[in-house]
Copies of this chain bind each other. A is one copy, B any other.
Amino acid sequence: MNTNDSDAIRGLITAWADAITARDIDGITGRYTADTVLFDAIPPYKTIGRSAIRQAWIDCLPHFPERFTTDLRDVVVQVSGDVAWSHFLLHFTPIGAEHPCGQTWMRTTVAWRRRSGAWVVEHEHVSLPFNPMTSQTWFIRDPAVVDMPDFTCAGDGPNAQGR
What residues of chain A have their CB less than 8 Å away from a CB belonging to chain B?
37, 39-46, 59-64, 76, 78-85, 87, 92, 100-101, 103, 105-107, 109, 111, 113, 122-123, 125-132, 135-138, 140, 143, 146-149, 151, 154, 156, 158-163
Contacts and interface: CB of A to CB of B under 8 A. Distances in A.
Contacts of A82: 80
A100 B147 contact: no
A146 B44 contact: yes
Given A78-B122, A109-B111, A43 B131 contact: yes
Contacts of A161: 42, 63, 100-101, 103
Given A46-B107, A80-B80, A163 B101 contact: yes
Given A39-B87, A39-B129, A80-B83, 19 more contacts: A37-B87, A42-B131, A42-B161, A42-B163, A43-B131, A44-B148, A45-B107, A45-B128, A45-B129, A63-B156, A63-B161, A63-B163, A78-B113, A80-B81, A85-B85, A85-B123, A101-B162, A109-B109, A128-B130
